[in-house]
Amino acid sequence: MNFNKLIDVFMFREGTDEETYETMQPVITTGSVVWGVLLRTAIIILLSLFIIEQFDLREYWWLSAFAIWAGAAYPGWRQYQKFQEKMKKFEEETLCGSCRYLDTSSQLCKIYDEHPTKDYIPCEGLNWEPKQSDNE
Ligand code: SF4
């Protein structure tokens, strides 16, 4: 993971459609949201410990819990919901979206180990198989 990717994860920053097309990589996935939350939580805990120790604010420890909720958990949850909406749209609009080999938690083709996009189908449709319904 390079430094820019780390910043993207920390900021829960999504790539533009052009970037996604160029790199064929979705910037935000379930994994990057989890990483973002963990990274933010670790930074908030370290900062809180430093501030609490430095200014002897032990009776205000609960503010750290609030900071973790406001700075890491809630933005992570919002970002996850956004990713879910994006995946739902992707499933409706693309060939890969209706294929049984698509891993919807990371927008990844399980056969080719690549990220399909709206304009990029790694197998060019040759390995497409329909998703199985629950009654099969
Ligand atoms: S097998 Fe082909 S159609 Fe299915 S997800 Fe992979 S690239 Fe897309």
User: Please, which pLDDT band fits residue 1 given cuts at 50, 70 and 90?
Assistant: low
pTM above 0.85, yes or no: no
Q: What is the distance in A from the centroid of ligand 1 to the CA of 126?
A: 8
Rounded distance between C-alpha atoms, residue 99 and residue 110, angstroms? 10
- Residue with CA nearest ligand 1 atom 6: 109
Q: What is the distance in A from the centroid of ligand 1 to the CA of 124?
A: 8
Per-residue tokens: 33: 């949201």
Output the pLDDT for position 20. Answer: 55
Mean pLDDT value across the chain: 85
Determine contact, residues 109/102, Cβ cutoff 8 Å.
Answer: yes
Question: Span 41-70, mean pLDDT?
Answer: 93
Question: Span 99-116, mean pLDDT?
Answer: 93
Q: Which of 90, 110, 112 to mutate to test the pocket of ligand 1 (most atoms within 8 A of CB)?
A: 112
| 136: three-class secondary structure by DSSP | coil
Q: pLDDT digit string (tens) for 64-105?
A: 999 999 999 999 999 999 889 989 999 999 999 999 999 999
User: Please, which pLDDT band fits residue 135 given cuts at 50, 70 and 90?
Assistant: low
Does the beta carbon of 108 sit less than 6 angstroms from any atom of ligand 1?
no
Rounded distance between C-alpha atoms, residue 84 and residue 3, angstroms? 26
Does the beta carbon of 96 sit less than 6 angstroms from any atom of ligand 1?
yes
Residue-wise DSSP of 68-110? HIIIIIHHHHHHHHHHHHHHHHHHHHSTGGGBTTEETTTTEET
Question: Span 35-57, mean pLDDT?
Answer: 93
- Where do the structural domains in the chain lie, given as residue ranges? 3-83
Does the beta carbon of 73 sit less than 6 angstroms from any atom of ligand 1?
no
User: Please, which pLDDT band fits residue 29 given cuts at 50, 70 and 90?
Assistant: confident
